[in-house]
Amino acid sequence: MLVKTEPNLQQAPQVNAIADKMLKYSNRFVTLLEERSGTSKGRLINISDRQRMFSQRIAKFYVFKAWGLDTDEYCAECDKAVKEFSDALETLKKAPENTPEINEALDKVQTDWNTFKISFSIRGGKFIPSLVTRSLDNILKQMDRITAMYVAIY
């Protein structure tokens, strides 16, 4: 089973294909839940939940890049995920439904996102996977908490 093996370069395309398939099905499920709710809060729950996915997707592509898997396809997918995360974070920060606690938590996400962007922009073949993945894991945890806060105000 792939999950129980040590990470290695040869399995990266297979891992990516599995992750993309899971993303597709998860996204469809969450979109159906949002449509079913029919509320702006349901939309915010969906957006905040997707932020968790984007953080892990970006981390995956960064690690691939550090491993030398710097394909045009992976770079384009990573850039797309970074843009979607940035856009969604701005949408969440402007939501009138936000409580002071949600705004404070989103500010913390913004701080970690800024740290990520600085370390992500380092070029010249230098990679800092531990810093990048730590920032993105913090974002994952914070977005999990924020998603729960949006559910609570539902």
Tens of pLDDT, residue by residue over 17-32, are 777 787 777 767 766 6
- Check if the beta carbon of residue 99 is closer than 8 Å to that of residue 44: no
Listed in sequence order, the residues at least 6 apart from 105 whose beta carbon sits closer than 8 Å to its beta carbon are 142, 145, 146, 149
**CB neighbours of residue 83 within 10 Å:** 11
Average pLDDT over residues 72-76: 88
What is the pTM assigned to this prediction?
Answer: 0.81
> Which residues have a Cβ under 8 Å from the Cβ of 136 and sit 6 or more positions away?
55, 56, 58, 59, 62, 112, 116
DSSP 26: H
Percent of the chain at pLDDT > 90 equals: 36
Q: Residues 118-143: pLDDT tens digits?
A: 777 666 667 777 788 888 999 999 99
Residue 74 has pLDDT above 70, yes or no: yes
Give the number of other Cβ atoms within 10 Å of residue 137's Cβ.
14
User: How far is it, in rounded angstroms, from Cα 117 to Cα 120?
Assistant: 5
Domain covering 10-152, topology: de novo design (two linked rop proteins) (1.20.1440)
Average pLDDT on 98-113 reads: 96
The CA distance from 10 to 51, in Å, is 28
